[in-house]
Amino acid sequence: MNWNLKLRNWHRDFSYFYVGLLIAFSVSGIALNHRHSWDPRDYVYETIKLKLDIPKDRDAVTDEFFRQSLINNNIDLKLRGSTWRRGGYNLYFDGAYAFINPSTGEGEIERFKIRPVLGQMVDLHKSSNDLWIWYSDIFAISVLLICITGLIIAKGKNGFKKRGWKLALLGIIIPSVFWFFL
């Protein structure tokens, strides 16, 4: 078997094997690129207005204070924790999040759910599970093989030596320009 045929077979078989993951990483990557505009993983399905009497003494504003305040407001959510961030109090619940303005005590609890399919794709994309990291590394190596074999297998006027090197060079220059200016 000649090398060109062997490379074509590897290119084809790795592409077939990883088509699902290539699609998932592509779609979730696009979604993550735009995460400043929307949350690609979760969506808000309910918003609860909230008004708390925030003590002037910031040391008195504890998780226990928030737990009691939620009970007093008939809100049945289990508080996981709170932080001071971006000029206000952030409250964290299972499946919910709240921001409280410290000067007015007003805020909103946003209850959210994971977006079907896209949420799972984003979780895969961002996962730090050790086994998944190994699988993702093998995937990344395979994508490199797909790229390299894709460069080599085309021959003739559309081959790398005649036309492909120009497109490959352009494909390197464009991200390099963005990288340089970021």
Q: Where are the domains of the chain?
A: 3-37+117-181, 42-114
Question: What pTM was computed for the model?
Answer: 0.66
Identity of residue 52? L
Cα 143 from chain centre = 20
Which pLDDT does position 1 carry in this prediction?
64
Can you tell me the distance from the alpha carbon of 12 to that of 15, in angstroms, rounded to the nearest whole number?
5
Helices (H), the chain: 3-17, 19-33, 63-72, 118-126, 130-153, 165-181
What is the rounded CA–CA span in Å between residue 49 and residue 133?
40
pLDDT tens digits for range 61-117: 999 999 999 999 999 999 999 999 989 999 999 999 999 999 999 999 999 999 999
Mean pLDDT for all residues in the chain: 90
